[in-house]
Structure 1
């Protein structure tokens, strides 16, 4: 991408130390339980319009072009400044869910260009026999396939942070999408794993153990290169939370609570213990196993994509009412609960700022 510098210079010129420090303090107060309101809905004190027109970069154009990748990520920061919203400025090595599966040799599935969507990965063609081979080999090379690309892009982010002081201070480089042990296993194994939960439990546990070891090894390697700048805190999707990892448990919607206890909880717990806790994300339905989450050590937040698929009264009972925060909750669900008079106890962050609906900050 030609003239990358002009966009970085634009971003650098629009970042205001006082405004970003104030926003971060708002997030820390919420995270630390000091927020006094019912629903956390942060905003910047002032918005800032871009001085140049930022290009739209399609996802598929970023996968093999570092300049396109970093420009696409920094454009998100530009949009946050322009909107004056409460998103923390942050970027990531944005290669989708297939990063760790690719370390094991999984083939990527590149989405059609026009969908502008991150790639996924295909399950291994040999099914269970390929899984046995992976277990025999152990933790794979962390720098092969998408692993190497992740660290290469991270190096570029770090280089830019050194060159542009305000970007370096306020644009946070957060961890790539490493999923979670069960998501990694299901991606590699394919739908056959749902039979082998019953037919070959031993092998499933062996692969979950390998996925966990690989997740831990990759994350440790990540933190060697990109150490956390805020001890005890972590950023994901422009939101702050306690701990240093965000586990993705999308496959849990397919499992019973007993199966969650056996096949997900112990491996998630190992990772949470290793990295000082963190959060759990899930898509789809989670109200059937949510009662297990507060029993786990170091779960400080959850993030759910589809509250409409859940009995949210059950979700709230086992999260916000027990001190576990929900971040990025859809505004429609927040509005529904508020109309019912629900007390969030200051433990819910709404994904789109409620305050912004009534009053938007003045752009400079």
Structure 2
């Protein structure tokens, strides 16, 4: 009887948690319904780069400008955030793509279904171009707006610079400014936070790695990423509430695909070395399309000061920079209600003129 009572006590909180999750997921599913006459809601797998990749195309009016997201990570897909960004779809057709080795694309068959060999930066770049062509053809548009976040901005900058015929504007958030290992701003700040908190062992571990991420092993990069985010209260709070919270309550994600979400990030570690020698200054700061950066003011992963320095050097036909207060990394997702007005004020007029 004691064993039975103990088992019941343990299962009751779990049952309540799962019931609460089911109710919230159902509410989010209702929130995400699109039933406008000229709306579109297509979610499924498309053959890209020789494998099936998950793509969502959603919006209340097909006449609206098209936003193509390039998510970060590597391997940190944006498919869980549909409920958070639902209001964006009233003004834009939002294309959300889980890259090779990420999110629902990875969950669809695991590592074996991601193509031969490990994922590479060059392969994902080629996939992004193919997705762009697919979206243009599917929606009957000449160009789309690139909306890149975090590591996705590394792809985004190159796509926008190299293919102005495909994109009507570039929008970066959590803007990553790679300088072939020269800039140590985020590393120095992480080391400072750990020391100030008295975490001498972790600080020593980071210090032993050195400031050049090109020399880190995959394990060291994972360690750094955890300590960088975990040592900043605002970033840690965002990871818990926005990232993990959205994943837990996403109508698109079962417990199985949640587990796959994290496995995908480990699988995608092979992508990072392909960006080690990228230098955005050497690549060039001239863009033929409007250029926008909306950055978290307190971003410790991709510091706002570096994003602003790069933005100031950019030559573009139209550009704007804005800080999102009370936001670190994942700024657009922590405050989607503040990000949308920036899109409407700066981007929408530039691409519909």
Q: What TM-score do you get using the length of structure 2 for normalisation?
A: 0.35
Q: What TM-score do you get using the length of structure 1 for normalisation?
A: 0.34
